[in-house]
Amino acid sequence: MSGIVADGVSRSFGAVHAVRSASFRAEAGRVTGLVGPNGAGKTTLLLMLASLLAPDTGTVRIGDVDPMEDPLGARRMLGWMPDALGAWPSLTARETIVTTARLYSIERDAAHARAAELLALVGLSELADAPAKVLSRGQKQKLGLARALVHDPQVLLLDEPASGLDPDARVQLRVLLRRLAGEGRTVLISSHILSELEEVIDDAVFLVAGSVVDADPALAAARAWRIRLAGEATIADADRVAAALGMASGALDVDRNAMLVGFATEQAAAAGLRRIVEAGIDVTEFSPAQSALEHTFLNLPRSEPHA
């Protein structure tokens, strides 16, 4: 069993409480998303999981290993991709992977084979012998991912892996992460691109001001739904929809050829759709204006942001 368990983990830097008593688990074979606003403590939490930072209180387990007691054991098991990837500027992509592999005690020949394999996997084969300083931000992210995978880790900690990636690469990343989870690995991924995250994650952990928060109340909050009619939407259309929903005339606005209507629950939304259809209005689109994850994220209880 090689999941991640955090139990009451706290860490402060001077007066700043970056993570406060965070508890969660990420299961093996699943992709878990770590979601939270800027400064919520995601990176600090990942650093503690990656055995680089000691928690002030609480315990972390990577599989069966406590990284505080056996950092080397934890490191052999985990692959970490930081948000700001530091690449050795004058080394080529291939040398970067080979060097990292050597630091994991992989033999020279095996390291070269592994580098070729990983560069092909992340799509950097053509740039394998270019120095890292000429790589674009997205290419550096790919290199960082390849580096995190070099020792075939059972647990992956990815901090904003999709930032700087083009849409093609994002799709490839999604497929790769699903495949890695399918092989029984634990994948913990933090990202701000919630729509992307939603496509790939099985579970989500919400972190606000250093604490893990229960997402159920936020998920239950009223959601906005986007309603689009056939043809160009006019104010008259908006009034017809408002009338069908029993709302005052002028209560709805037309925004980018569609109307936004708030429904408290999914049942209320379904009932609303039925009334619009029964009123003979030609609906072509009736969908949540935000993804479920985005909706939850935006409705999380906010407190003072922390650096």
**CB-based contact 205:33 (threshold 8 Å):** yes
In whole angstroms, give the CA distance from residue 283 to residue 273.
9
Rounded least distance, CB 299 to another protein, Å: 30
Residue 67 in contact with another protein, rule: CB under 8 A = yes
Read off the amino acid at residue 283.
Answer: V
Rounded least distance, CB 199 to another protein, Å: 27
Among 1, 54, 134, 224, binds another protein (CB under 8 A): 54
Among 1, 84, 236, 271, binds another protein (CB under 8 A): 84
Orientation of helix 167-182 relative to helix 137-148, angle to 10°: 10
Rounded least distance, CB 195 to another protein, Å: 27
Residue 210 in contact with another protein, rule: CB under 8 A = no
Residue 263 in contact with another protein, rule: CB under 8 A = no
Residue 286 in contact with another protein, rule: CB under 8 A = no
Residue 75 in contact with another protein, rule: CB under 8 A = yes
Residue 71 in contact with another protein, rule: CB under 8 A = yes
Read off the amino acid at residue 285.
Answer: E
Among 40, 53, 177, 212, binds another protein (CB under 8 A): 53
Question: CB-wise, 89 or 184, nearer to another protein?
Answer: 89
Residue 102 in contact with another protein, rule: CB under 8 A = yes
Question: CB-wise, 10 or 43, nearer to another protein?
Answer: 43
Token pair recorded at residue 141: 């992210």
Pairing label, strands 31-35, 203-208: parallel
Give the contact letters, 118-147, x = binds to another protein (CB under 8 A), - = no: -----------------------------x
Q: In the block, which residue shows the tokens 């080979």?
A: 98
Q: Describe the strand order of the beta sheet including 186-190 as a list of residue ranges.
A: 78-81, 155-159, 186-190, 31-35, 203-208, 211-213
Residue 50 in contact with another protein, rule: CB under 8 A = yes
Pick out residues in 148-177 that bind another protein (CB under 8 A).
Answer: 151
Closest CA to 172 of 150, 141, 128, 202: 141
Q: Describe the strand order of the beta sheet including 283-288 as a list of residue ranges.
A: 259-263, 223-229, 283-288
Closest CA to 49 of 233, 229, 205, 247: 205
Instruction: Determine if residue 146 is left, alpha or beta; phi over 0 gives left, psi from -120 to 50 gives alpha, anything else beta.
Output: alpha
3-state secondary structure of 244: helix
Rounded least distance, CB 281 to another protein, Å: 54
All residues at 6 or more sequence positions from 168 whose CB lies less than 8 Å from its CB, including other chains: none
Among 28, 91, 289, 298, binds another protein (CB under 8 A): 91
Question: CB-wise, 87 or 283, nearer to another protein?
Answer: 87
Residue 103 in contact with another protein, rule: CB under 8 A = yes
Residue 276 in contact with another protein, rule: CB under 8 A = no
Q: For binding to another protein (CB under 8 A), which residues are involved?
A: 13, 43, 47-48, 50-54, 67-68, 71-72, 75-76, 78, 80, 82-91, 95, 99-100, 102-105, 147, 151
